[in-house]
Amino acid sequence: MGKDARIYVAGHTGLVGSAFVRRLKEQGYTNLILKTHGELELLDQKAVEVFFKEEKPEYVIDAAAKVGGIKANREAPADFFYVNMQIEQNLIWSAYKSNVKKFLFLGSACMYPKECRQPMTEDQLLTGVPEVTNEGYALAKICGQRLCSYLYKQYGADFITAIPANAYGIGDNFDPEHSHVIPALLIKFRNARINNEKTVSLWGTGKPLREFIETEDMADAGIFLLEHYSGYEPVNIGTGEEISILDLSRMIKKIVGFEGEILTDPSKPDGMMRRLCDSTKIQELGWRSRIGLEQGIKRLYEWYENSCNCK
């Protein structure tokens, strides 16, 4: 991509999209197209079509999505399925009709089947059913990946898919009802410390293993793929390291400075017991993660403390 290429980052105000914007600017890209929700309703097919005709982006990074943690996904599968299906179909099809040079669709590790060989390789997509707690979101993301691959195979459109591990980072959502696991645990332990509570209870047994990737790393990998990869097969983006939810909680407990006890609640669902991406493909292309988990969480917590005005 030329440094003056017209690059549209969909969802640029969100966790992942904002990281892409920061990294693109840091790498010298000067012609970014950014539209807020108020400026462009991605659920409106006609509005999206008009946008592409008028703005004529050359490259598209699709970081727009309705996202949430296990509780939100479990309670609103219809919302997660419908909204994400509409957004991705409107963006992908309009981009194809507008002859966009390259399109990067961002999937999710939850797209892989619940009963999946670990680490998860890209060829295991659609070999089983997703974990039920986030099935609506997972199925929508699978459909987006499939549409990109069909366009690549049928029409030669350079539409690629990246499947990242669980993302976290600056700009994360700290709402207890809708946040992902890392910000949810950070705020839970922080509040427990401030309120002098003696215990913190985890959702589930604490045994599930998860792989996490900092959004700056994820953006680096996505930009790398735009420059170095073409193909109908998706590409995993991960660190190759995993940690149990209980050990993650112990790490966050230390970072936050909570001195009480960690309890588990087996009456709550665990979700998929292990979810580790095999990132061999992108590593062979020449990219590797550079931000360690503890380093990334410390940076996120520092950002939150400095920005929430609630010390």
Please answer whether residues 182 and 126 qualify as being in contact, where contact means their C-beta atoms are separated by less than 8 angstroms: no
Instruction: Record the tokens describing residue 273, joined without a space.
Output: 């017991």
Distances (CA, A) of 194 to 77, 179, 197, 246, 258: 34, 20, 8, 21, 9
B/e letters for 267-293, b = 16+ CB within 10 Å, e = fewer, are eeebbbbebbbbbebbeeeebebebeb
Residue whose C-alpha is closest to residue 210's, from 243, 249, 252: 243
Q: Which residues pair with 59 in a beta bridge?
A: 7, 102
- Determine phi and psi for 120, rounding to 5 degrees: -85, 120
What is the Cα–Cα distance from 18 to 279, expressed in whole angstroms?
Answer: 23
Tally of CA atoms within 13 A in the half-sphere of 265 that contains its CB: 8
- 168 in active site: no
Residue whose C-alpha is closest to residue 36's, from 65, 12, 6: 12
Q: Which residue of the set 137, 152, 229, 301 is catalytic? A: 137
Secondary element (H or E) of residue 105: strand 102-106
Instruction: Record the tokens describing residue 185, joined without a space.
Output: 């645990």
Distances (CA, A) of 265 to 37, 40, 201, 203, 270: 38, 42, 7, 6, 10
Please answer whether residues 240 and 289 qualify as being in contact, where contact means their C-beta atoms are separated by less than 8 angstroms: yes
User: Which residues participate in catalysis according to the annotation?
Assistant: 137
